[in-house]
A and B are shown apart, each in its own frame.
Chain A
Amino acid sequence: MSRLEIEQIDGVPIARVYEDIDAANAAVVRQQLDEALGPDALSLVVDLSATRYVDSAGIDMLLRLNDRLDHRRAKLILVIPEASQLKRLIAIVGLPEAITIHSSLENALREKAKSQAR
């Protein structure tokens, strides 16, 4: 399926999203992210570089996912490029206060490697 692709890099599940996340599919995307996470993973990277619109249902879904990962002492990381419209949007709803945002996948993985090295 082309709308969401899962990959493992250095033991970290990466979910690349290729569609909008809105009231129509937020629940389905949530399920797919849950599957990508599995029972053991300590972090999940959701790459929204190719995503154009995320509505309040999508934001709500990400925040709840973040809460759940928190309880497992796991970390949710979002990749949102600097130039993306989503960057402005998430600032409005205060998302960066709750979830780690990186501007590229490379940055996210580098940060992960650094924190693991500590």
Chain B
Amino acid sequence: MSESRGDHLLSITDSALGYMSLEDMLSELLERIRDSLEVDTAAVLLLDEDRGVLVARAARGLEEEVRQGVQVPLARGFAGRVAAEARPIIIDLDHADVVNPILRQKGIRSMLGVPLHVEGRVIGVMHIGTLVKRDFDEDDVTLLQLAADRAALAIDNARISEQRAVTAIMQRTLLPDALPEIPGMRFSAKYLPAGSGIKIGGDWYDVFQLATGDLAFVIGDVVGRGVLAASVMAEIRTALRAYMVQGHELAEVVSMLNELLASMDRSRGATLSILKLDPEAEELEAVIAGHLPPLLIEPGGQTQLLEQRPGLPVGVSTGHDYEAFRHSFPTGSGLLLYTDGLIERRNESIDAGLRRLEDAASAAAHRSDSTLADSVYRALLDETPLEDDVALLAIESVPLEGRLEMTLPARPNVLGGLRKTIGRWLQAAGAGEDELFDITLSASEAAANAIEHAYGAREATFTIYCDRHDRQVTIVVRDTGRWRTARPPGGGRGLEIMRSLLDDVQVASNDEGTVVTMTKKLSSQA
């Protein structure tokens, strides 16, 4: 008799694997168990390892368990003991200790529970109950265990698929953004989480431009590996961006992040360095939170580790401050931000690793056949199998010469960056302070008009060209917005300002868009 019971019962797990959701399959299985074993209730609880509790996942005759999210601590009560002792247990509720109030409320008298095993680990419990007293026999135990074994396999497979899907999505969203394209700057990076098949980890880098035109660089390393470290990394990355965009000072940003991590339950420690570059003033500001020192490459090729004012890692303790320091970053300079996976080797001191980094950076600077990040990475690791995550961000400031051309999104927050780039270009051209101000402000006005003409159309862009012939500077701003005789921002004052500050301003517009051409002759100083 038990064989035919078993066949009917177990056939469900085979066929269902293909087309049913895990929930539905378990529900169907529990229903068949109720029939075959002639019991009143059947339920599956799964173990949440992080929190050490069993959570009801599916039930027949006991749907309340699932609906109310019943949780049974490991080793406590009936299900808890089955899981902790990893063996079948039979109880008589009149005499037993049960944690779950629903079992008593239902009027259950007898129960049989078996563990769900996968590869020697207990992942949950399956139990059945009756409303009248019942003496479960060996056949019952064997059959229930068989059903549980099949269910365990199906559950494990479903979990793996689910985790893969989640990981795939996380990987895509947590990967670093594409490196920005900014005239006068060159960025390159390497991002290699250790471990096969996993494309994300606790190391990260970030580069973004603020509305003021300053550039922010971040390198960081969350304790641990894999998906958990990556999710903490994502929170840190987002928080840093938010605080920076709000305009807080660098030291304050790191303090605020530290406080944020301290307020979170499952926070982890992390080391990081965050820097802000004013590309026009050519000055770098930095805060280091327990991270390896950034490496500065001077225009002449000499290297210097920036080891000033090292602060404590974040997410570990509170009540301490962070301090920023500054360093000049003239055109031709380079900067390397990296995580310890890049330089650490067994049986070698950190100092030796840093020496190797400095040598690699010196040799790699100014090479034109590969990016700075690639050159440094190849010199240090190349064929070596990765033992630890590696993140490397290389930043170079290059001369702004000849024609300057930028295509920018038609959003007001690009104006600050536009002014800094044009200011830098004019500085290189030998413009005096007054004329630099006049030309930059005028270009900014024309750009603001172009942005306004886009009328908030998503994906709209505009282009700006800056040329110089001898001392004559010509700037052209071209947008594709439709001309409308609406009042531009500043009520037409923008054009008045431009005409007063420059030698000539021409505005030509048609159905295709508007072109503004501005010229100014620089005074012969340089």
Chain B interface size band reads 20 to 34
Bound-complex Cα distance A57 to B451 (A)? 13
| Contact flag A56-B490 (CB < 8 Å), given A85-B434, A88-B434, A92-B497 | yes
- Stretch of B69-77, B244-252, B258-266, B395-403 on the interface side: B244-252
Chain B 237-273 residues near chain A, CB threshold 8 A: 246-249, 252
- Is A8 among interface residues, defined by CB-CB distance under 8 A? no
Bound-complex Cα distance A24 to B248 (A)? 18
Q: Which residues of A have CB within 8 Å of B340?
A: none
- Stretch of A15-23, A33-41, A98-106, A107-115 on the interface side: A15-23
* Nearest A-chain residue to B498, judged by Cβ: A56
- Stretch of B11-19, B344-352, B413-421, B463-471 on the interface side: B413-421
- Is B300 among interface residues, defined by CB-CB distance under 8 A? no
Contact A57 B489 (CB under 8 A): yes
Q: Which residues of A have CB within 8 Å of B452?
A: 23
Bound-complex Cα distance A1 to B491 (A)? 30
Q: Which residues of B have CB within 8 Å of A55?
A: 415, 441, 444-445, 448, 490, 494, 497
Contact B496 A24 (CB under 8 A): no
- Is A7 among interface residues, defined by CB-CB distance under 8 A? no
Q: How far apart are B281's CB and chain A's nearest CB, in angstroms?
A: 11
* Nearest B-chain residue to A64, judged by Cβ: B491
Chain B 478-523 residues near chain A, CB threshold 8 A: 489-491, 493-494, 496-497, 500-501
* Nearest A-chain residue to B246, judged by Cβ: A1
Kindly identify which residue among B212, B248, B448 contacts A1, using a CB–CB cutoff of 8 Å.
Answer: B248
| Contact flag A92-B501 (CB < 8 Å), given A22-B416, A22-B448, A24-B211 | yes
- Is B412 among interface residues, defined by CB-CB distance under 8 A? yes
Contact B433 A85 (CB under 8 A): yes
Q: How far apart are A57's CB and chain B's nearest CB, in angstroms?
A: 4
* Nearest A-chain residue to B252, judged by Cβ: A2
Q: Which residues of B have CB within 8 Å of A2?
A: 247-249, 252
* Nearest A-chain residue to B213, judged by Cβ: A20
Q: Which residues of A have CB within 8 Å of B448?
A: 22-23, 55-57
Contact B247 A3 (CB under 8 A): yes
Q: How far apart are A88's CB and chain B's nearest CB, in angstroms?
A: 7
* Nearest A-chain residue to B491, judged by Cβ: A60
Contact A24 B416 (CB under 8 A): yes
Contact A22 B444 (CB under 8 A): yes
Bound-complex Cα distance A68 to B400 (A)? 44
Q: Which residues of B have CB within 8 Å of A24?
A: 211, 412-413, 415-416
Q: Which residues of A have CB within 8 Å of B248?
A: 1-2
Kindly identify which residue among A3, A19, A53 contacts B441, using a CB–CB cutoff of 8 Å.
Answer: A53
Contact with B along A55-97 (1 / 0, CB 8 A): 1110110000000000000000000000001001100110000
A-B CB contact pairs (8 Å), 24 listed = A2-B248, A3-B247, A19-B212, A22-B415, A22-B444, A23-B448, A23-B489, A24-B416, A25-B211, A25-B412, A53-B437, A53-B441, A53-B444, A55-B415, A55-B441, A55-B445, A55-B490, A56-B445, A56-B494, A57-B448, A85-B434, A89-B497, A92-B500, A93-B496
Where the two chains meet, the residues of A that have a C-beta atom closer than 8 Å to any C-beta of B are 1-3, 19-20, 22-25, 53, 55-57, 59-60, 85, 88-89, 92-93
With A53-B441, A53-B444, A56-B494 given, name 13 new contacts (CB 8 A).
Answer: A1-B246, A2-B247, A19-B247, A23-B448, A25-B211, A53-B437, A55-B441, A55-B445, A55-B490, A56-B448, A56-B493, A93-B496, A93-B497
Closest 10 CB pairs of A and B: A56-B490, A24-B412, A56-B494, A56-B493, A3-B247, A85-B437, A23-B448, A57-B489, A92-B500, A23-B412
